[in-house]
A = this chain, B = another copy of it.
Amino acid sequence: MKRRNTATKEAVLSVLNASGKAMSQSAIEKKINVDINRATIYRVLNNYCEDGILHRIVADDGRQYFAICLECDEDRKSLHHFHFRCEKCETISCLPEPVNFSLSNDYIVEKVNCILTGVCKDCSTS
C-alpha cells in the first residue's frame, strides 16, 4: 500500500517532532491545531510505526505512547533501547542506552519493551 502525503500526517509528525518525546494519542490531539478525528490519529500513528518512522511504547499506565526515535534512525537496524518515563514532567523519552539480553532458543522474542521510571535529568537538575 503506497502512502500519500496529507496535512493530517504532517501535523501529527510535526507535533511529535516539536516535543522530542513520546506522546499519547490524546496528548497529540490536544497539541495539534487542526481538528482531526481520534481514529484517524491512531491510524496515522500505526502506519508510521509500520513504516519504521515511529516507535510504540506502552507505559505502565497501560497506554500507548509514540515517538520519533532519532537515535535509532541512524543505525536503522531496529536496535532496542531503553525508555525513560519521568513522573515529574510526565513525558517519555528515548535513551541511547541499548537493551542487551541473551535467552534460551526455546523462547521466541517478538517485542522488547523496557521502561525506566523516575525523574529525568531535566527535572532532577532544576
Chain A residues with CB under 8 Å of chain B are 58-64, 82, 84, 87, 95, 97, 99-104, 106-121, 124-125
Given contacts A58-B61, A107-B120, contact A114 B87 (CB under 8 A): no
The reply to whether B97 and A125 form a contact with Cβ atoms under 8 Å apart is no
The reply to whether B118 and A106 form a contact with Cβ atoms under 8 Å apart is no
A105 to chain B, nearest CB (A): 9
Q: Which of B63, B82, B117, B121 lies in contact with A111, CB distance below 8 A? A: B117
How long is the Cα–Cα vector from A119 to B109 in the complex, in angstroms?
7
The reply to whether B87 and A107 form a contact with Cβ atoms under 8 Å apart is no
Given contacts A62-B64, A97-B101, A113-B114, contact A106 B121 (CB under 8 A): yes
- In the complex, the count of this chain's copies comes to 2
Q: Which residues of B contact A109 (CB under 8 A)?
A: 116-118
The reply to whether B118 and A104 form a contact with Cβ atoms under 8 Å apart is no
Q: Which residues of B contact A108 (CB under 8 A)?
A: 118-119, 124
The reply to whether A110 and B114 form a contact with Cβ atoms under 8 Å apart is no
Q: Which residues of B contact A103 (CB under 8 A)?
A: 95, 97, 116
Q: Which of B113, B117, B118 lies in contact with A115, CB distance below 8 A? A: B113
The reply to whether B110 and A87 form a contact with Cβ atoms under 8 Å apart is yes
